[in-house]
A and B are shown apart, each in its own frame.
Chain A
Amino acid sequence: NAGVTQTPKFRILKIGQSMTLQCAQDMNHNYMYWYRQDPGMGLKLIYYSVGAGITDKGEVPNGYNVSRSTTEDFPLRLELAAPSQTSVYFCASFGQGRQSYNSPLHFGNGTRLTVT
């Protein structure tokens, strides 16, 4: 069982380039999330999705776009990369049954992105 898989693990972009960070989960989770973690900072929510076709903004959505065409995949798109987007990006998913304490967010291992 792979859980949450993120690709690539590392990427260096030049200012103005674009790229898509991939995230896939095989747990049939409805809810998926993108967070970024800057050095010395916590995890900031970029976008999240409560199901296929439904997405919503988090705390820091500017400069990013998402789509959710399937339950499994939740790609994050950077259209015009800027140095401020240098960060580690984490994708997470969440299953049914919020009342169950055994259904927390499951995280991938992250994508380390550098924009120069």
Chain B
Amino acid sequence: DQQVKQNSPSLSVQEGRISILNCDYTNSMFDYFLWYKKYPAEGPTFLISISSIKDKNEDGRFTVFLNKSAKHLSLHIVPSQPGDSAVYFCAASEGTYKYIFGTGTRLKVLA
């Protein structure tokens, strides 16, 4: 049973435009959410996180939005750059240190 879902396996965006990556979850007890970026042949690297007490967190070009009622979070990248091309994973935990990851979305930023 997939508790964290990323329904878009891939996304292509023009350089300079906004990239929006989406993530849905089923467990209402999740209270901490993270986004990771992964390049080929490397481990995932942390991008940005958000606690369930917030609905938005911003870090430079990256903003994460959380809609608890819809059990949905999204990652916005503005402006998108070719170096942002990677696989993006969302992850969630429920008051423990057990992190559950989604299936990932491959982002391709076209120059």
Contacts and interface: CB of A to CB of B under 8 A. Distances in A.
Contact of B43 (A58, A98, A107): A107
Instruction: Assign chain B's interface to a size class.
Output: 20 to 34
Interface string A28-65: 00010101000011111100101000001011000000
B44 A107 contact: yes
A10 to B, nearest CB: 11
Interface residue tally of chain A, by bracket? 20 to 34
A99 B98 CA distance: 15
Contacts of B8: none
Contacts of B101: 35, 42-45
Contacts of A76: none
Contacts of B65: none
Interface of A: 4, 31, 33, 35, 40-45, 48, 50, 56, 58-59, 90, 92, 94, 98-99, 101, 104-110
